[in-house]
Chain A
Amino acid sequence: MGNDFSLPEGDNYLEIVMEEIPEIANLYVTVRDGAGALLPGVTISINGVPCTTGSGGACSFPGLTPGPHNGSSTKAGYEVTSVVLNGSPIPFSNGNF
Chain B
Amino acid sequence: MNILKDDNYIEIVMEEIPAPPQGRIGQWRYRVACSQPTIHVEEGNWPNHALDFDFDLFPSTFTISVRCHNDSSITILAELVIVDTNSHISWQPSQKSIGAGGSTELTFAVGLPRVRGQYYFDAILSFDGVIVDGGRWIINYS
Contact = CB atoms under 8 A, between A and B. Distances in A.
Interface residues of B, number: 19
Interface string A28-64: 1111111000010010100000000000000000001
B40 to A, nearest CB: 50
Interface extent on A, as a size class? 35 or more
Given A66-B3, A86-B4, A33 B14 contact: yes
Contact of B10 (A23, A66, A83): A83
B89 interface: no
A78 B3 contact: no
Contacts of B4: 25, 66, 86
A79 B6 contact: no
Interface string A59-89: 0000011111111010101111111111100
A34 B8 CA distance: 22
Contact of A29 (B5, B6, B12): B12
28 contacts: A24-B5, A24-B6, A25-B8, A26-B6, A26-B8, A27-B9, A28-B9, A30-B9, A30-B10, A32-B14, A33-B15, A66-B3, A67-B2, A68-B3, A69-B3, A73-B12, A78-B14, A79-B14, A80-B12, A80-B13, A81-B13, A82-B12, A82-B13, A83-B11, A83-B12, A85-B9, A90-B1, A97-B12
